């Protein structure tokens, strides 16, 4: 498991529309990168938002489906009701309470885009910018420099996110960042998966069997802000240590909307690459395994996906897909008992996530 240099994987690129920056008026051609391996798996990523726009995977009968939600054209990703489909999220994934934080005695005010709170980097997070890129073999390295003060965050932050598909059906995502001033960093990917196919909707989602390698989760208030308490999953609906069919538990989550919770994977440490989650769709035989070095994963069952038309005319809405966003725990800057989310000059933020796909006969 890891980053493979495998000659059977091919990489191609082409144009995927034109983006006109609303702030500068400058137009840029967006590039689409397509990986294919010898197992019939293909992956597409664009440099707008460093966004995964397609993952095509055979089922146990050889039928290939795109198992991620998204759009057929760039215009879809630019519309206001795009719920971060496939995007790279930053500077800080998840929520920051009251859109403010104090660092080294100074108070920083962020944009509020989730009620009074800041969500997924603010009004114009990393998902809404054009990333530079370069190709290195079968890797694509996307690079973005977030200027000092952008969305209220201190320091000029340089981030590189490397994508690669292996011949073992692994999508390897390697995040690295450095900063000129003390700041906050918590990057993730926001792909929405439905192993039954991106058009199968809630009926397909409910048949998924989910396991998450976590013995605790972060308790939150009604706005999704952590209280600081870590709750054991034992004897609760959040106990997914044993594989559990979503149909049997999704309506028992206290919010009544489904899962949107951070699960504590590494008991607060970030050492080593470990098993995070396994999700299986028995009818198709498709399986997703997630590995990461991060202390948490946000498991989200698409509770707030707006009703809309996605790829190939497919209808999306509530519970059309799920997300597994590897991350530092949300709102960590406000909780001393949470993992560190502060990056200082001279340090490197590093985060590796692997999405591995299998097919069971």
Write out the chain's pLDDT in tens, 361 residues: 333 444 699 999 999 999 999 888 999 999 999 999 999 999 999 999 999 999 999 999 999 999 999 999 999 999 999 999 999 999 999 999 999 999 999 999 999 999 999 999 999 999 999 999 999 999 999 999 999 999 999 999 999 999 999 999 999 999 999 999 999 999 999 999 999 999 999 999 999 999 999 999 999 998 999 999 999 999 999 999 999 999 999 999 987 789 999 999 965 555 578 999 999 999 999 999 999 999 999 999 999 999 999 999 999 999 999 999 999 999 999 999 999 999 999 999 999 999 999 999 8
Residue 250 backbone phi and psi in degrees, to 5: -60, -35
The whole-angstrom distance between residue 105's C-alpha and the CA centroid of its chain comes to 31
Residue 129: which of 119, 121, 137, 117 has the closest Cα?
A: 121
The domain 10-359 is placed in CATH, from the list 2.70.98.10, 3.20.20.70, 2.40.50.140, 3.40.640.10, at: 2.70.98.10
> Residue 3's pLDDT is what?
39
> Residue 267's pLDDT is what?
58
Classify residue 49 by its DSSP letter. T
Residue 156: which of 167, 145, 165, 168 has the closest Cα?
A: 145
Classify residue 130 by its DSSP letter. B
Q: Which residues contact 28 (CB under 8 A, 6 or more apart)?
A: 18, 19, 21, 130
190 labelled catalytic:
yes
Give the position of tokens 């009251």: 98
Asked if 243 and 195 count as a contact pair (C-beta separation under 8 A), the reply is no
Q: At 142, which helix (H) or strand (E)?
A: strand 139-146
> Residue 4's pLDDT is what?
41
Asked if 71 and 311 count as a contact pair (C-beta separation under 8 A), the reply is yes
Instruction: Outline where 186-243 has alpha helix (H).
Output: 201-206
Residue 6, judged by CB atoms within 10 A of its CB (0-12, 13-18, 19+), counts as: middle
Threshold 0.85, pTM exceeds: yes
Residue 98 DSSP SS3:
helix
Asked if 312 and 297 count as a contact pair (C-beta separation under 8 A), the reply is no
151 labelled catalytic:
no
Active-site choice (190, 208, 281, 335): 190
Residue 62 DSSP SS3:
coil
Residue 28, judged by CB atoms within 10 A of its CB (0-12, 13-18, 19+), counts as: middle
> Residue 270's pLDDT is what?
55
* Domain residue limits, the chain: 10-359
Task: Cite the annotated binding site for beta-D-galactose by residue number.
Answer: 94-95, 190-192, 260
> Residue 171's pLDDT is what?
98
Q: Which residues contact 248 (CB under 8 A, 6 or more apart)?
A: none
Active-site choice (208, 325, 335, 351): 325
Residue 52: which of 248, 194, 192 has the closest Cα?
A: 192
- Burial state string for 117-136 with b = 16 or more CB within 10 A and e = fewer than 16: bbbbbbeebbbbbbbebeee
Q: Give 310's Cβ-side CA count (13 Å radius).
A: 28
Which tokens sit at 190? 């926001």
Q: Any idea how long the chain is?
A: 361
> Residue 256's pLDDT is what?
73
Residue 359: which of 40, 7, 6, 36 has the closest Cα?
A: 40
Give the position of tokens 């690079």: 143
């Amino acid at each position: 498991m890891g980053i493979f240099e495998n000659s059977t994987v091919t990489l191609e690129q082409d144009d995927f529309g034109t983006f006109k920056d609303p702030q500068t008026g400058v137009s840029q051609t967006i590039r689409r990168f397509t990986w294919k391996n010898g197992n019939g798996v293909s992956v597409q990523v664009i440099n707008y938002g460093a966004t995964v726009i397609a993952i095509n995977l055979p089922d146990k009968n050889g039928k290939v489906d795109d198992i991620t939600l998204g759009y057929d054209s760039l215009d879809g990703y630019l519309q206001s009701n795009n719920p971060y489909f496939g995007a790279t999220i930053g500077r800080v994934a998840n929520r920051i309470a009251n859109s403010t934080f104090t660092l080294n005695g100074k108070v920083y005010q962020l944009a509020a885009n989730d009620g009074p709170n800041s969500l997924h980097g603010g009004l114009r997070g990393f998902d809404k910018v054009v990333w530079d890129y370069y190709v290195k073999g079968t890797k694509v390295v996307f690079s973005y420099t977030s200027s000092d003060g952008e969305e209220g965050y201190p320091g000029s932050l340089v981030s590189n996110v490397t994508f690669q598909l292996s011949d073992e059906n692994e999508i390897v995502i390697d995040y690295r960042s450095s900063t000129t001033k003390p700041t906050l960093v918590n990057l993730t990917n926001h792909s929405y998966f439905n192993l039954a196919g991106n058009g199968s909707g809630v009926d397909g989602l409910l048949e998924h069997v989910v396991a998450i390698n976590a013995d605790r989760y972060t308790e939150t208030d009604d706005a999704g802000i952590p209280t600081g308490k870590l709750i054991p999953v034992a004897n609760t609906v959040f106990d997914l240590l044993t594989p559990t069919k979503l149909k049997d538990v999704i309506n028992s989550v206290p919010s009544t909307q489904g899962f949107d919770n951070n699960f504590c994977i590494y008991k607060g440490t970030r050492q080593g690459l470990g098993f995070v989650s396994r999700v299986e769709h028995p009818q198709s035989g498709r399986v997703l395994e997630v590995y990461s070095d991060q202390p948490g994963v946000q498991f989200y069952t698409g509770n707030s996906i707006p009703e809309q038309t996605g790829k190939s005319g497919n209808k999306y809405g509530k519970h059309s897909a799920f997300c597994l966003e590897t991350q530092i725990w949300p709102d960590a800057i406000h909780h001393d008992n949470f993992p560190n989310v502060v990056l200082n000059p001279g340090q490197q933020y590093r985060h590796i996530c692997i999405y591995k796909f299998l097919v069971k006969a």
